[in-house]
Amino acid sequence: MQSPTNSFDKISPTAIMVAELRQFTDIPYSKEIAQLVNAQAVVEKLIENNLNRPVEVGVWLEGRYKSVNKLIGQATQIIELASGLQPRGMVMTENPDIIFIESDLPGILSQKQEIVKKLIGNRPNYHLIPINVTSDPSQFPLHANYLDTQKPVVITCEGLMMHLTFAEKQMVFKNIREMLEIYGGMWITPDLNDKVGLNKMRSFSPGLQNISRTTAEITGRNVDDYLFENPDHVKQFAQLQGFTIDSYNMLEIIDSLTCLEPLKIDVEIAKSMLANAFVSVLKLKNSNPNWV
């Protein structure tokens, strides 16, 4: 199956929406990125028909970023898919011992390369490469000379899988499985959302309802059409693709949130949202227990 790149290009403006809210956190480079892409003006235009700015969505965005970082731990080979305007690669490659591969579709990746050049310049351990995650054959760096086959990789993505049909999700699982079969390691993602959990989050967040509607208008893809039914559905799907899966509640990082005060978000709302938000850690069923 080959999914045309153009069918995904419309998703890119959502990265600017995320960047606008991320600037109200202490995540490094977030303010600089938001300024460089004029995020505030773009978002105001995108949501001009909505009554409320989706401020509380900042809780989810900061929560998933910091939860993923916590689970990445001491990994030294990291691949971030559909990275958009995430600053993770710029932050983590400050450590020269970390190899970081950042990928997205060519359009937004080109924009990100300009941002990286302006903020940090070139780093030999930081690689930005175009990848269509649903491509068959795989566009993943299966045999890249900058990766060590003797070391496991951690693959991560935020805000990708919810936009994909189940056939497209299956192709991402296949391509990640091929990568992990060579290197070992794991896949960390908060993207395996199900209807039960997301609807609970929406009940505490009118802004999340707004942003879901706006995203559907921008992308032509209604997230609700691509959600798993419930946590059991997520687990069954992952197992059919050859993975084991463990889930970690984002509430564990509540004390590290910094967006509440600047965005004027009630802490109880934040707790209620994160109590229904999870990060999944997936490994191959037959993985070596000594891998990450």
List the structure tokens of 127: 């690689």
- Tell me the C-alpha to C-alpha distance, in Å, between residue 278 and each of 3, 57, 198, 203: 28, 15, 10, 17
CB atoms within 10 A of CB 121: 8
Distance CA 30, CA 38 (A): 12
Each residue's pLDDT tens digit, 109-121: 998 999 999 999 9
Distance CA 25, CA 88 (A): 14
* DSSP for residue 227: -
Each residue's pLDDT tens digit, 46-104: 666 554 567 888 999 999 999 999 999 999 999 999 999 999 999 999 999 999 999 99
Ranges of each domain in the chain: 6-284
Identify the bridge partners of residue 129 per DSSP, sorted by sequence position.
103
Q: Does domain 6-284 have CATH number 3.40.50.150?
A: yes
Mean pLDDT value across residues 185-208: 91
Best CA proximity match to 259, nearest among 91, 15, 34: 34
Asked if 83 contacts 111 with a C-beta cutoff of 8 angstroms, the reply is no
- Flag the least confident range among 64-73, 213-222, 274-283: 213-222
